[in-house]
């Protein structure tokens, strides 16, 4: 049975973008079965996060594992998105924040031209942010700042901390790691991203 949604959360949810049906703030969600009025779970979750206190600052281990994702699949010279594994774990249930992190770090490197970005996993991670209002995007970026994953040099501008996520060249990574990664991709054709330690 679905738990009752407190009135203040329900009202806040109606003023947010719905990631399920793309309803804009103030619009009703698409009707449910039988034409019943509906309020999708992504809207409720987003409202709950917005009403909650800012998350605590998180210290990332300097030697933590990282996730590596090629930005251009099949391109041997593709740039690589490197994300700290603790960031991925922390944001696994906060997809808007994870999407904001991806958008910010790619924007820092002037890589938001989607014609050059062909990794479907990276595009999917960024997708929750695409339909949000600017106000909502800023809100999720500010939560990244509170976590210590980003900073804000001035209002409305954000930068991701290099330890949290950064763009790297293949040449910056250990050749043995690259060889292991290439072998793993060859053995699993669908593997655009792989979690390894590059130590």
61: in domain: no
Are 151 and 179 part of one and the same domain?
Answer: yes
Q: Are residues 157 and 134 in contact, defined by beta-carbon separation less than 8 angstroms?
A: no
Determine phi and psi for 149, rounding to 5 degrees. -85, -10
6-55 pLDDT tens trace = 889 999 999 999 988 999 999 999 887 766 668 898 899 888 888 889 99
Are 91 and 182 part of one and the same domain?
Answer: yes
99-137 pLDDT tens trace = 999 999 999 999 987 777 899 999 999 998 988 999 999
Are 21 and 77 part of one and the same domain?
Answer: no
pTM of the model as a whole: 0.85
59: in domain: no
What pLDDT, on the 0 to 100 scale, is given for residue 190?
Answer: 55
Q: Which two tokens stand for residue 163?
A: 């330890």
Total count of domains within the chain: 2
Are 97 and 121 part of one and the same domain?
Answer: yes
DSSP string, 79-147: -EEEEEHHHHHHGGG-HHHHHHHHHHHHHHTT---TTT---HHHHHHHHHHHTS-HHHHHHHHHHHHHH
Q: Give residue 77's domain range.
A: 66-188
2: in domain: no
Are 140 and 167 part of one and the same domain?
Answer: yes
How far is 136 from 43, CA to CA, in rounded Å?
A: 12
31: in domain: yes
Q: Are residues 97 and 143 in contact, defined by beta-carbon separation less than 8 angstroms?
A: yes
| Pairing of β 66-70 and β 80-84 | antiparallel
What pLDDT, on the 0 to 100 scale, is given for residue 35?
Answer: 66
Closest CA to 50 of 88, 15, 101, 19: 15
Q: Give the burial string for 167-180 (b: 16+ CB within 10 Å, else e).
A: bbebeebeeeeeee
């Amino acid at each position: 049975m679905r738990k009752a949604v407190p009135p203040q959360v329900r009202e806040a949810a109606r003023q947010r973008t719905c990631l399920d049906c793309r309803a804009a703030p103030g619009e009703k969600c698409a009707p449910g079965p039988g034409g019943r009025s509906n309020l999708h779970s992504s809207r409720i979750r987003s409202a709950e996060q917005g009403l909650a206190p800012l998350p605590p600052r998180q210290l990332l281990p300097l030697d933590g594992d990282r996730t590596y994702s090629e930005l251009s699949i099949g391109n041997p010279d593709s740039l690589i998105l490197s994300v700290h594994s603790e960031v991925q774990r922390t944001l696994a249930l906060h997809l808007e924040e994870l999407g904001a992190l991806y958008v910010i770090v790619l924007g820092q490197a002037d890589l938001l031209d989607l014609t050059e970005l062909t990794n479907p996993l990276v595009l999917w991670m960024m997708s929750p942010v695409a339909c949000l209002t600017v106000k909502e995007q800023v809100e999720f970026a500010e939560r990244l700042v509170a976590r210590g994953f980003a900073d804000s040099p001035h209002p409305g501008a954000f930068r991701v901390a290099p330890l949290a996520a950064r763009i790297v060249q293949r040449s910056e990574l250990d050749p043995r790691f690259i060889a292991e990664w290439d072998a793993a991709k060859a053995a699993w054709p669908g593997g655009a991203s792989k979690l390894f330690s590059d130590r």
